Structure formats: C-alpha cells, structure tokens
C-alpha cells in the first residue's frame, strides 16, 4: 500500500483544528506519518491552541495483535500498514521515532502494542523527557480472556501481571480494555480486577 504522506498531513491538520475548536484538550496522533506532530503543533499554535496536548503514537508497530479490534470495527482496509508502521523486528526505530516526535512538540509518546514491545517501551522511557504511555491492544486482551475461559490460566492474576509488566517497563499510563475493571478493583481496595 502506498500512502501520500504530505496529503495525509493536510487532513490531519484539518482534523486536529476541528477537534481543538470543538474543545478537545488532548489529541491522539496515531497515523505514524512523518512530520505529523510538527504539522499539527504548528497549526494549533497558529490558532491559539497552545495548551492542546499532543499524544504521539510514536512507536506503533505493524503488529498481528490488532486483529480482534479490526474485526470488531469491520475494517475495510486492503493491504497492510507496513509501509508506515514500524517493523516489529526493529527495536531502535521505536526510540528514534519517539525522539523525533518529542523534538516536534509531542507532550506524550505512545508505544503500541505494549506486551510484545516491553523492550522498546523501556528504551523509549529511558530516552525521552516526556510521559510515555503504552497501549495494551485487543489481541493481548483476547489472548488472556480466551486462555482464562478455557481454564488454562488464572484470569485476574494474568491481567494484573500483564499490566504490572507494562508499568515495570516504564509506562506512565496504560491504555487497556480492562481499565474500568482495574479501576473499580483499586477503588474498592482490591489489588486487581
């Protein structure tokens, strides 16, 4: 699949301005286009949205673990995203992309997926001076839920262990499908779901 980077940046800028005008305080730049953070930051600043935060999906890998989400939303994409997402075998590129996004004005950088890229997450945390978030994607969620449903693993312990490993690797925040369940458990004084 071929992607027109510059034309895509124009669309991203238009979408970012529309979202900021509508009151968004944090924009998630997930497209992995070269220069997207700089283009959006310039446009927002020019219109006075200097306090609108940018979350850059800096280390977003072309992963097999997105499958359940793509199926759930009935993704119509043909081809793959390997032309603009990162190669899962390339550890260093994630750090390079995070540093570029930080230099372009990102307020937060994301590593996605989380579980199979804990080394990248740790490297990014050590390299940047801004918050690092990690995204525990649908395939990671589905594997634990399926194994637990079959009685192969302890569900609650496995969920907690997966999240602790992401935090231990350096994530300041974790996006996970278990967020409300974990929050409810913590609010009630339990250490897990």
Instruction: Count CA atoms closer than 13 A to 127's CA, side-chain side.
Output: 24
Q: Is 82 a catalytic residue?
A: no
> Which residues, given as ranges, of the chain have pLDDT below 70?
1, 66-84, 186-187, 190-193
- Predicted local distance difference test score (pLDDT) of residue 148: 96
Residue 168: per-residue pLDDT: 97
Question: From residue 100, how far is each of 11, 34, 68, 103, 156 by CA, in Å?
Answer: 21, 9, 30, 5, 37
Residue 82 has what pLDDT? 54
For residue range 161-180, list pLDDT tens digits in order. Answer: 999 999 999 999 999 999 99
CB 123 within 8 A of CB 98: no
- Kindly give, in sequence order, each residue whose CB lies less than 8 Å from that of residue 162, ignoring residues fewer than 6 positions away: 115, 136, 140, 144
pLDDT for the residue 23: 96
Total Cβ atoms within 10 A of residue 162: 20
pLDDT, residue 108, reads 97
Q: Which of 60, 107, 111, 141 is catalytic?
A: 60
Q: Give the pLDDT score at 79.
A: 53
- According to DSSP, the β-strands at 132-135 and 173-175 are parallel
Q: Which of 85, 112, 158, 182 is catalytic?
A: 112
Beta strand spans in the chain (E): 26-29, 53-60, 108-112, 132-135, 173-175
> What pLDDT is stored for residue 69 in this prediction?
44
- pTM equals 0.85
Q: What is the SS3 assignment for 49?
A: coil
**Residue 97 tokens, joined:** 């992309």
Check whether domain 56-187 has CATH 3.90.1150.10, yes or no: no
The model's pLDDT over 125-153, given as tens digits with 9 standing for 90+, comes to 999 999 999 999 989 999 999 999 999 99
Phi, psi of 24 (to 5 degrees): -65, 135
112 classed as catalytic: yes
Q: According to DSSP H, which parts of 22-150 are helical?
A: 36-46, 67-72, 91-104, 118-127, 138-149
Question: Distance between CA 82 and CA 62 in Å, rounded?
Answer: 6
């Amino acid at each position: 699949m071929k992607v027109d980077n510059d034309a895509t940046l124009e669309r991203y800028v238009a979408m970012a301005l529309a979202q900021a005008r509508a009151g968004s305080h944090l924009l998630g730049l997930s497209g992995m286009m070269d220069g997207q953070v700089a283009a959006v930051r310039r446009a927002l600043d020019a219109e006075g949205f200097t306090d609108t935060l940018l979350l850059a999906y800096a280390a977003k890998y072309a992963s097999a673990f997105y499958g359940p989400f793509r199926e759930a939303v009935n993704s119509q994409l043909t081809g793959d995203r390997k032309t603009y997402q990162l190669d899962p075998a390339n550890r260093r590129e994630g750090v390079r992309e995070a540093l570029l996004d930080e230099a372009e004005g990102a307020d937060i950088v994301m590593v996605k997926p989380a579980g199979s890229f804990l080394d990248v997450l740790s490297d990014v945390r050590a390299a940047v001076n801004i918050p690092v978030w990690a995204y525990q994607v649908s395939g990671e969620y589905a594997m634990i839920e399926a194994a637990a449903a079959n009685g192969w693993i302890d569900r609650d312990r496995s969920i907690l262990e997966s999240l602790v490993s992401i935090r231990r690797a350096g994530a300041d925040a974790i996006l996970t499908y278990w967020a409300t369940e974990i929050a409810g458990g913590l609010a009630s004084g339990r250490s897990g779901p």
